[in-house]
Amino acid sequence: MNAMVTLSRTDFDAVVTDLDGVVTDTATVHEMAWKRMFDGFLATCPPREGEDHTPFGNEDYRQFVDGRPRTDGAAGFLISRGIEVPPEKLHALAQQKDRDFQDILLKEGVRLLPGAVSLLTALRLAGFRIAVVSASRNCSAVLRQAGITELFDARVDGVIAAELGLPGKPHPAVYLEAAGRLRAAPARSVVVEDALAGVEAGRRGAFGLVVGVDRAGHGQELLAHGADVIVPDLAGIDVVPVVPWSATERPQT
């Protein structure tokens, strides 16, 4: 199922990549923060009939939370457990998750995933325009902490999405906004994602290629949600370098 993907400027003009779980390992931090918040909430209120209060797990993160805005993620998980809360409580839980994320991030730091910098650098050298997309409102801080802000030409994160009133993934709005900021047609753009909601957004947006990054053995699900091809990590994406004019000139005879 895994394959090698080759990106060429002949076929595409831009690459729009997710941040958490693709470029940085902050997806792990997000999952830890969600678990801390949800498990704390579930432990403090006795379950009513029809409610499931078992601890938050990795499958819950992948199915209901990963890649989505905080409030959407909180609502999706609670609905899956048959739990109803008023809007103000839902907002409070989302805020608590953000505080937990920032606390864990401060302690754990930001780790770049293998191959991220080399891929982004190769894309820039080949003339691709690059945007980063994240549902997180902490995207800018994560980029700064990782030292990779300058590797992107555009950013569409949770702050910008809220300002523009853009719906979250799996709606394609954030990816379409990113392509627009790169002045690139979706059909000439590549989406790189590790989340089910993200690859679905790329497919709904009619992007030219949707690459699913599968580090956890969920490639079949990524394909089912819209990925065109699966790579095990960013080393599975090759970039055709730009050949200097001098190297293509025919010698005079």
Which active-site residues does the annotation give?
18, 20
C-alpha 105, offset from chain centre: 17
Rounded to whole angstroms, the Cα distance separating 15 from 35 reads: 31
Answer yes or no: are the C-beta atoms of 69 and 135 closer than 8 Å: yes
Instruction: Say whether 34 sits in a helix, a strand or coil.
Output: helix
70-80 vs 87-108: helix crossing angle, rounded to 10:
110
Helix axes 87-108, 26-44, angle to 10 degrees: 130
Distance CA 83, CA 114 (A): 39
Q: CA gyration radius for the chain?
A: 19
CA 57-60-63 angle, to 5 degrees, is 150
Tell me the HSE value of 26 on the side-chain side, using a 13 A CA sphere. 27
Q: Which residue has the tokens 């989505």?
A: 68
Q: What is the dihedral of CA 198, 199, 202, 208, to 10 degrees?
A: 150
Own/partner contacts of 224-229, CB < 8 Å, gap of 24 or more, are 225/170, 225/196, 225/197, 225/199, 225/200, 226/199, 226/200, 226/201, 226/202, 227/193, 227/199, 227/202, 227/203, 229/3, 229/5
